[in-house]
C-alpha cells in the first residue's frame, strides 16, 4: 500500500475527508507528503537543483516549458504552463533570492498535477477552467548566494518601472503577454512579524496591493480582496490567529502594485515564521494548500460572495517577536537589584558553501518586554545574571573540544575556550565560544548590540548558561544545541 492510500485509509477510518462534505483543502493537508518534492529539503537549493526537476517535468509533457529569458549571470528563467481553460492565473516566486519557500511549494504543485491517479476530478475541473502559468525562481543569481537582490545588487521589486535588470524585464514582458486574470506574487517575510498585537507569529501574510497612494479599490483589486478573504477563512482552520496582512502602503516601483494597476487581480503571499520550522517546511505545505485552493476557487468563481469585511478584519503585521526573550532576570549593579527582560535576535550568516548558515546573536532590547514575546520565551524569575568566564588553564584543538564534557565546564561558568591554533572559521557547531588568539578576551556586556554570553544563577548555583544567545540548562546536555562564535 503506498503512502497516499495509507493516509487516506486513516482519514476514512476517522470519517473526516471523504464524507459528503468532502473538503479538498483538508484532504490536501493530510495527503501533502505524497506530493512533496523530496529533493528540496531546505531553503538553500540552487538554480541547478530546479533545472533538473524542470527537465524531468518536460519529459512528462503535461506542462509546456519554455525559457522566458536569462538572468544577468546567464541562468535560465523558466515559464511553465498547464491547463486549457479561459481564466488565466500567473504565479511567480523568489524574485528575492533568499525567499525560497513558495518555490518549494510550486514544485510540490507540479507533482500534484503530474500525478495521474489521485484527485482526478478536481484536477480536471481546475485545468479545463483555467490555464496556469508559473515562473519559479525569478532571481536565480540571488538564490545562488542566498541574497535578496540580483547580481547587480538591485532589488527587482523596485525595478518594475525602470526595468533595468534582465529579470524584471522578463517578468514584465511575460506579464504583458499573458494579461492574466489573477496573479500570485510569492515572497518570504521576516519570521519575527506577529499577526497584529497577538502573541502569534504571522505564518502567512496576504495583501491585495494598492493601485495608488489613496488605496482605492477598483474591480480588479476587489477580486483579490475577496479571494484573500476566502483563503484567510480556509487557512484559519489550520493556523488560527497566525495569518496577517502585509503593509498596504503604495509602492509604485513594486511588481504587485504595478500588476494590480495594470488589470490583473494580484495577491501577495508572504511566508513568515513558525515555531520550530527554521527551514519553513510547514509553511511550504501551507503555500501548497492555499495556492491549490485558490486555483480551485478561481475555477469555480466561488469566492465572489465573500464580503470585503473579512479582508478588512485580517490584522496587519506587527513587530512583536524576538528570537529569544529571557524574563525577570536580576541584574546587580552598584549594590542595587534591577529586574530586566532581555530580547535577543539571531542573525543568520551564510557559510562559504552558500548552503549552510550559522547564527550570530545580538542583544536587541533590555527592560520591560512584557508587550513582546519570543520563539524561545523563558521566565527566569529568581535568577541572577552574571558574566560568563573563559577557561584559561588549557588550550584545545577543535576535536578535543568536541569530546569534553561541556556540562562540567558550564557548571563552573565557563562558556569560552581557547584554541591551540588560530583558525579562520567564524563559528563552531557546538554551544561554546572559542578564542583563536590567546591574548583576546570575550567580555560580557549587558548592553544593546552586545553578544549575549552569560550565566544564570540561583542560590549560588549555575543552572543555565547563555552562549551566543542559546539558552542551555547545564544539567541537560543531551539538549544542547546551537553554535558558538570564534573570536579572532
Closer residue to Zn ion in complex, CB, 119/255: 255
Please, which residue, 273 or 482, has the CB nearer to Zn ion?
273
In terms of phi and psi (left: phi > 0; alpha: psi -120 to 50; beta: otherwise), the region of 448 is: beta
Cell 489613496 found at: 214
Nearest to Zn ion of 37, 99 (CB atom) = 99
Nearest distance from C-beta of residue 256 to Zn ion, angstroms: 10
Q: Of 169-177, 183-191, 249-257, 408-416, which segment contacts Zn ion by CB under 5 A?
A: 183-191
- Residues 69-98, one symbol each (x = binds Zn ion by CB under 5 A, - = not), give ---------------------------x--
46 near Zn ion, judged by CB under 5 A: no
- Window 95-124: residues binding Zn ion (CB under 5 A): 96, 99
Q: Which residue is nearest to Zn ion (CB)?
A: 187
Q: How far is the CB of 92 from Zn ion (least distance, A)?
A: 11
Which of these segments, 129-137, 184-192, 240-248, 273-281, binds Zn ion (CB under 5 A)? 184-192
CA distance 112 to 382: 53
- State the Cα–Cα distance between residues 269 and 463, nearest whole angstrom: 43
Closer to Zn ion by CB, 96 or 359: give it.
96
Which residues from 301-360 bind Zn ion, rule CB under 5 A? none
C-alpha–C-alpha distance, residues 194 and 200, integer Å: 5
Q: Minimum distance between the CB of residue 156 and Zn ion, rounded to whole angstroms?
A: 9
Nearer to Zn ion, 183 or 413 (CB): 183
Question: Which CB sits closer to Zn ion, 96 or 280?
Answer: 96
Distance separating alpha carbons of residues 456 and 380, to the nearest angstrom: 9
Piece of 181-189, 315-323, 387-395, 444-452 that binds Zn ion (CB under 5 A): 181-189
Which helix (H) or strand (E) element contains residue 104? Answer: helix 101-114
Rank residues 27 and 201 by Cβ distance to Zn ion and give the closer one. Answer: 201
Q: How far is the CB of 142 from Zn ion (least distance, A)?
A: 10
Among 25, 76, 144, 251, the one annotated catalytic: 251
Q: What share of the chain is helix, strand, coil (3-state, %, to 5)?
A: 30, 30, 40
Query: Grid coordinates in use for 276?
Result: 520550530
Minimum gap (Å) between residue 208 Cβ and Zn ion: 16
User: Strand 265-271 relative to strand 204-207: parallel, antiparallel, unpaired?
Assistant: antiparallel
Q: Enter the DSSP assignment of 157.
A: G
Please state whether beta strands 182-188 and 204-207 pair in parallel, antiparallel, or not at all (unpaired).
unpaired
Smallest distance, Zn ion to C-beta of residue 99, A: 5
Q: Which is nearer to Zn ion, 207 or 486 (CB)?
A: 207
Residue 187 interacts with Zn ion (CB under 5 A)?
yes
Phi, psi of 190 (to 5 degrees): -50, 125
Burial code (b: 16+ CB inside 10 Å, e: under 16) for 165-197 equals bbbbebbbebbeebebbbbbbbbbbebbbbbbe
Half-sphere exposure of residue 230, counting CA atoms within 13 Å on the CB side?
25
The least CB distance from residue 374 to Zn ion, in Å, is 24
Cα distance between residue 453 and residue 361, in whole Å: 9
Within 10 angstroms of residue 436's Cβ, the number of other Cβ atoms is: 17
Least CB distance to Zn ion at residue 458 (A): 44
Q: With CB under 5 A as the contact rule, which of the stretches 158-166, 182-190, 277-285, 313-321 interacts with Zn ion?
A: 182-190
Residue 487 binds to Zn ion (criterion: CB under 5 A) = no
Q: How far apart are CA 281 and CA 358, in angstroms?
A: 19
List the one residue out of 251, 268, 247, 266 whose CA is nearest residue 196: 247
25 classed as catalytic: no
The count of chain residues that interact with Zn ion, using the rule CB under 5 A, is 3
Residue length of the chain:
488
- Placement of cell 502573541 in the chain: 199
Residues forming the site for Zn ion (CB under 5 A) = 96, 99, 187
Q: What residues are annotated to the active site?
A: 251
Amino acid at each position: 500500500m503506498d503512502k497516499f492510500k495509507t493516509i487516506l485509509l486513516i482519514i476514512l477510518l476517522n470519517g473526516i475527508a471523504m464524507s459528503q462534505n468532502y473538503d479538498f483543502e483538508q484532504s490536501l493537508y493530510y495527503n501533502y507528503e505524497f506530493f512533496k518534492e523530496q529533493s528540496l529539503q531546505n531553503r538553500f537549493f540552487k538554480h541547478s537543483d530546479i533545472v533538473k526537476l524542470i527537465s524531468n517535468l518536460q519529459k512528462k509533457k503535461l506542462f509546456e516549458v519554455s525559457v522566458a529569458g536569462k538572468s544577468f549571470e546567464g541562468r535560465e528563467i523558466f515559464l511553465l504552463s498547464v491547463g486549457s481553460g479561459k481564466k488565466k492565473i500567473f504565479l511567480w516566486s523568489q524574485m528575492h533570492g533568499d525567499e525560497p519557500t513558495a518555490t518549494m511549494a510550486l514544485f510540490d504543485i507540479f507533482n500534484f498535477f503530474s500525478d495521474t491517479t489521485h484527485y482526478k476530478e478536481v484536477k480536471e475541473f481546475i485545468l479545463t477552467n483555467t490555464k496556469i502559468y508559473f515562473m519559479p525562481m525569478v532571481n536565480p543569481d540571488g538564490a545562488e548566494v542566498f541574497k535578496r537582490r540580483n547580481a547587480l545588487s538591485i532589488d527587482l521589486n523596485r525595478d518594475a518601472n525602470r526595468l533595468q535588470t534582465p529579470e524584471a524585464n522578463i517578468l514584465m514582458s511575460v506579464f504583458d503577454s499573458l494579461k492574466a486574470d489573477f496573479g500570485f506574487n510569492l515572497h518570504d517575510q521576516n519570521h519575527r512579524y506577529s499577526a497584529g498585537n497577538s502573541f502569534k507569529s504571522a505564518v502567512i501574510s496576504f495583501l491585495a496591493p494598492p493601485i495608488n497612494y489613496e488605496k482605492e479599490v477598483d474591480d480588479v483589486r476587489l477580486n483579490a480582496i475577496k479571494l484573500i478573504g476566502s483563503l484567510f477563512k480556509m487557512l484559519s482552520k489550520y493556523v488560527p490567529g497566525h495569518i496577517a496582512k502585509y503593509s498596504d502602503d503604495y509602492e509604485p516601483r513594486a511588481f504587485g502594485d504595478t500588476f494590480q494597476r495594470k488589470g490583473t487581480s494580484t495577491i501577495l503571499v508572504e511566508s513568515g515564521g513558525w515555531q520550530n520550522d527554521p527551514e519553513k517546511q510547514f509553511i511550504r505545505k501551507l503555500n501548497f494548500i492555499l495556492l491549490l485552493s485558490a486555483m480551485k476557487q478561481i475555477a469555480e468563481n466561488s469566492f465572489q460572495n465573500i464580503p470585503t469585511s473579512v479582508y478588512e478584519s485580517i490584522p496587519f503585521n506587527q513587530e512583536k517577536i524576538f528570537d529569544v526573550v529571557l524574563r525577570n532576570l536580576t541584574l546587580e549593579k552598584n549594590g542595587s537589584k534591577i529586574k530586566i527582560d532581555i530580547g535577543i535576535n539571531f542573525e543568520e550568516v551564510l557559510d562559504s558553501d552558500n548552503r549552510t548558515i550559522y547564527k550570530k546573536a545580538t542583544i536587541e532590547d533590555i527592560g520591560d518586554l512584557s508587550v513582546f514575546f519570543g520563539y524561545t520565551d523563558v521566565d527566569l524569575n529568581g535568577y541572577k545574571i552574571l558574566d560568563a568566564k573563559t577557561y584559561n588553564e588549557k588550550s584545545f584543538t577543535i576535536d578535543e573540544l568536541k569530546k569534553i564534557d561541556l556540562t562540567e565546564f558550564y557548571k563552573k561558568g565557563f562558556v569560552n575556550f581557547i584554541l591551540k591554533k588560530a583558525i579562520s572559521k567564524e563559528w563552531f557547531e557546538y554551544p561554546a565560544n572559542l578564542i583563536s588568539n590567546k591574548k583576546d578576551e570575550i567580555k560580557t556586556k549587558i548592553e544593546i548590540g552586545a553578544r549575549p554570553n552569560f550565566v544564570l544563577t540561583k542560590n549560588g548555583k549555575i543552572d543555565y548558561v547563555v552562549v551566543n544567545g542559546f539558552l542551555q540548562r547545564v544539567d541537560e546536555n543531551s539538549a544542547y544545541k546551537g553554535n558558538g562564535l570564534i573570536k579572532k
